[in-house]
Chains A and B, each alone.
Chain A
Amino acid sequence: MRVDVVVVGAGTAGLVAAVRAAQSGRKVLVLAKGAGATHLAPLTIDVLGYAPERVESPARELAPFIAAHPEHPYARTGEAAIAEALDWFRGVMGDAYPYTGGLERNMLLPSAIGAPRPSALVPVTMAEGDLRRDEPMCLVGLRPLKDFHAALAADNITRLGVQARAVELDLDVDRADVNALGLARAFDRPEVRALVAAQLALRLRAGERVGFPAVLGLRHAPTVWRELQERLGRPVFEIPTVPPSVPGLRVDAILLGALRAAGGRIIIGSEVVGAAPDADGVTVRARAAGRDVEHRADWLVLATGGFAEGSITLGSDWRARETVLDLPLAHVPAPGEPRFAPGLFDEHPMSRVGVAVDDGLRPVGPDGRRVHERVLVAGASIGGAVPWKEHSGEGISVTTGHHAAGQLAGVAPSVGVAA
């Protein structure tokens, strides 16, 4: 296919880049080996949670963080780009799945085991779980769902200083093995939430806010959440659980809808196995049934992820390799140097490995010079960050995806494509 932009990867960074590029009038094609991290991540937009102490205000602490980490993706995009990207993201989600918060103050949301997670921009359906407030909590366990143990989470939250207790509800969902997605579909049905509210109402105490696992609807989450608040007469919040991530799937559906509405195309299941950039664009080779298929684009946005996604590999010879374009990688330990630290939660020397980019998100070599003008990099493919430790993963993905598409904005779309 002949398009303006090929985006490789359908995770958060790839879809954000694709939607923004398509909305600015580009003809966009997304190619992905499979469905993306939206299916697994809670999609709270954590911008900076630890640096290394817990961050209360990203707005205040981003500048010193960037100064101390000149090779971090945020240092490449700049602080202003983060705020812009968050505003844009919030706009795209709109009323379909409203977000709240911002860079001024991190909220502190409970994880599925009741640990605090600092996050900047969160779905309204989760915001009432903020652990900085001290109203007591009642966490609701749904018996068929083995992925959320209300009592465990409540115990841990109580230890953090917020009174929390658990109640368990029986919910007949007609199957032995149900996951969050199955329950979310059930909550989309009005009779199911009416039943849950009725069962719950008598068991709540005065002044308690109510926490559910994040299963409050797949297609109609804001309605389900609002309705439960009204029926129960108190604040209700969701707590993200293990995959499948219902909140992530809500975001995925909205981004895909926005992409389609803007005329973008997506092929899931077509792995990009090679790309040849030249002065005018990029020729992309992707897997298809029976044979490889070639696509041609003016620009390629690489958003394939890092080690965890199989997009960067490490050989026994110490050589790390970016699999699509063989881009130069930074932060790779020299042969013989330690690659991993002994403790699981230590910072491993390998963890910052990724593509080095310049301020325009173009890949650069060890000398700092651009290796390809027509290639941009977004998301976890960029090196220099330790997202799980910084609590910065979605922040980096949304910011760099948005920023990558923004790099194309100054360039007029090619002839024949409606602006």
Chain B
Amino acid sequence: MTAHEDSVLLDLVRGSLDHCVKCTICETHCPYSNVTPLFPGPKYVGPQAERFRSGEEVSPDASVDLCSSCGICTQVCPQGVHIAEINTRAKARLAESEGIPLRNQLIARPDVLGMLGTPVAPLANRTLSNRPLRALAHRILGIHRDAALPRFAGRTFRSWAKRHTPPAQATKEVVLFHGCGTNYYEPELGEKVVAILEHNGFRVTIPKQGCCGLPLQSNGIFPAARSYARRLARRLAPHARRGVPIVGPPTSCTLMLKREAREIIGLDEDPDVRVVSEHTYDICEFLLELHERGELRTDFQPVEETVAYHAPCQQQGHNIGKPALDLFALVPGLRTVELQARCCGIAGTYGLKVERRQISLDVGADLFSQIRDAEPTVVACDAETCRWHIEQETGVTNLHPIDVLHRAYGLDRR
């Protein structure tokens, strides 16, 4: 870690430490410490333990590694302590000192995996769903044999975007940040976002872009996370400087651009990161703001379905409420059930790991039973790894809220 980024973090994050009054509100809300005795909770491994790991010291207590970085502790803290940021940083130091296992190096690079898997998608998908091979990966790599892995689409969103002709009459411009999940695994989600934005009169610019660095950050690989985040910010910054909003469907990755790159890996003073942060929108946040200005088309057709909506932890980290619910309310016929559980348990790559699998399932149990009780047609959720995980564990189709709006606009029938 460079001295400069460290001092940025010191001011931003560690400075909040002394505001902790040990009120236990973070522990009340932590989905992880509530299901496993192995994780003593965000206060314990955070504001309390941080006093024993000043400067370059590694945490004397390895239990901080069981934190999933879901960020809920920071959201609920009434004193403004950056608990999740403190703990993610302590986890990274721990990982640095112990060496990063090959598995974590792999699953933290969705862009590399995507590039490798896409051209050989049928083979790659067969490999990922092959039971004996998964058992082998379980034993050798430590990727749990039953954890949900995505399927390669066999084509990329970017290749579609290159062929796509934007409508001639568009007057307003927006930049699309699609993320790795959309590019390699769910290109149709990107196409739907473009269709909705174009339906609302936007010309969608799709600049060259890569991974935001979030999975690297979650796995404690900060130097690589920083270079990924910086490179992405450099590509998006010229558009932000022109005042063009940057919108994206992967809510975890837009949160990385907005806040986490600044506050967790310490890029707060990078001018590109800052300007991108200020101009980035979660796609539902952007559409709802359009609606509040009276600029969103509301020619929605009835969708006779029950949608159970789960706001993932990272979506809640935007501090914008649940805009998807307000958008769903515009669709005639749509019945919405707001799910009340906080976390599904996957936390990006956390639930893929053999040694975390049971904790992950225990965290998600509450959400899964709420979904079963709601008997929805589909579950809507803004983060891709959460969708894959929830779908696998409940058997209910999981979609991005955009998918529901796309159908409500009738764009699937054009």
Contact = CB atoms under 8 A, between A and B. Distances in A.
Contacts of A249: 28
A244 interface: yes
B37 A175 contact: yes
Interface in A243-298: 243-244, 249, 260, 265-271, 286-291, 293
Given A182-B34, A243-B23, A290 B259 contact: yes
B28 A289 contact: no
Contacts of A51: none
Interface stretch (B72-80, B196-204, B392-400): B72-80
Interface residues of A, number: 38
Contacts, number: 91
Contact of A34 (B75, B277, B292, B338): B75
B123 interface: no
Contacts of B44: 177
Contacts of A34: 25, 75-80
Given A39-B23, A175-B37, A309 B78 contact: yes
A174 interface: yes
A181 interface: yes
Contact of A269 (B79, B280, B292, B319): B319
B27 A269 contact: no
Q: Chain A interface secondary structure, helix, strand, loop or mixed?
A: loop
A268 B280 contact: no
B320 A244 contact: no
A176 interface: yes
A35 B317 contact: no
Contact of B28 (A2, A33, A181, A293): A181
Contact of A293 (B25, B34, B257, B320): B320
Interface residues of B, number: 33
B57 interface: no
Nearest to B78: A34
A327 interface: no
A40 interface: yes
A289 B319 contact: yes
Contact of A289 (B34, B37, B259, B321): B259
B335 interface: no
A287 B319 contact: yes
B108 to A, nearest CB: 22
A33 B82 CA distance: 12
A174 B34 CA distance: 12
B255 interface: yes
Nearest to B22: A243
Interface of B: 23-25, 27-29, 34, 37, 40, 44, 74-80, 255, 257-259, 277-278, 280, 292, 316-322, 338
30 contacts: A1-B292, A29-B321, A32-B78, A33-B78, A34-B25, A34-B75, A35-B25, A39-B23, A40-B25, A176-B37, A181-B28, A181-B34, A182-B34, A243-B24, A244-B28, A260-B338, A265-B322, A266-B321, A267-B319, A267-B321, A269-B74, A269-B76, A271-B80, A287-B319, A289-B259, A289-B320, A290-B257, A290-B259, A291-B258, A293-B320
Given A288-B318, A289-B319, 16 more contacts: A2-B292, A32-B78, A39-B25, A179-B24, A179-B27, A185-B34, A244-B25, A267-B321, A268-B75, A269-B75, A269-B319, A270-B319, A287-B319, A288-B320, A289-B317, A310-B79
Report, nearest first, the 7 A-B pairs whose CB atoms are least far apart: A34-B78, A290-B258, A175-B37, A269-B75, A288-B319, A289-B259, A289-B258
